Amino acid sequence: MTNPPARPTKSSTVPPRPGAYRRPALAGTSKPTRRRRLFWLTIIVSTLGSVAVGLAFGLGGSATEAFAGPPGPEGIPLEVGAPIAPETSAASGQTVRGVQCDAGEEVVYHIHTHLAIYVNGVLRPVPPGIGIVSPVAQATAEGPFYEATQCYYWLHVHAQDGVIHIESPTVRAYSLGDFFAIWVQPLSSAQVGPVTGRLSVFVDGRRYYANPANIPLRSHEDIQIDVGTPIVPPKTIDWAATNL
């Protein structure tokens, strides 16, 4: 294919305005001219700095970058990084806040909530196996999927994708505090698991100012907790792309 002819430059088609050209000032430049030059130099430096910061963020130094991994066995992006607390701290079968551990998964009330936790801008995954007593990983093409060898709590996590399964024999209200109680990890307005600091909490992208332990677990809800700074812009899950 032949390239189109080059477009004429503006200078070749539009004659310069009379008097538009100004000879560069010499050493004796007046103070107003120097102030104007300093002003525009400041603007240019600031702009270049912003571009550089933006490039650095895009290359992996920003809290705004996507920390999630590829879709996992449930169709939800995997949470990549060091878990904020181990799964092994979770309850081992005893009833917790009225939540029991049954031999099979209940299906009368079955919904899913997503939880993401960031500490100083870094994703700290929710580990798989919480609420699954003696979990065993089943290999899948998208990563391990954990199942119980003893029992399932009505609130549990199958994969490292932050999805909390609420599978209850009756329709009732559950809270994020119930989940953390099964995990046997603290949750308050100033602490998430072993990490303490100032919390910024979001529910479905909206700021939540009360104690995060009181957040109700609802169907296809996105909960994000940031401890410290920077605060990661709240993300939401495309639930339509999953089978949950």
Q: What is the pLDDT of residue 243?
A: 84
Cα–Cα nearest to 157, from 206, 203, 117: 117
Least confident segment among 3-7, 157-161, 191-195: 3-7
Over residues 62-91, the mean pLDDT reads 83
Summarize pLDDT for 181-216 with one digit per residue, the tens: 999 999 999 999 999 999 999 999 999 999 999 999
The band of 81, judged by pLDDT with boundaries at 50, 70 and 90, is very high
Give how far Cα 131 sits from Cα of 93, 114, 218, Å: 9, 15, 18
Burial class of residue 173 in the structure, from the number of CB atoms within 10 Å of its CB (0-12 exposed, 13-18 middle, 19+ buried): exposed
Q: Kindly list the domain boundaries of the chain, sorted by start residue.
A: 71-234
Lowest mean per-residue pLDDT among 4-8, 61-65, 158-162, 240-244? 61-65
C-alpha–C-alpha distance, residues 138 and 224, integer Å = 28
| Full-model pTM | 0.74
User: What type of residue is 53?
Assistant: V
- Render pLDDT for 115-138 as a digit per residue (tens, 0 to 9): 999 999 999 999 999 999 999 999
Cα–Cα dist 244/232, whole Å: 25
CA-wise closest residue to 92 among 168, 160, 151? 151
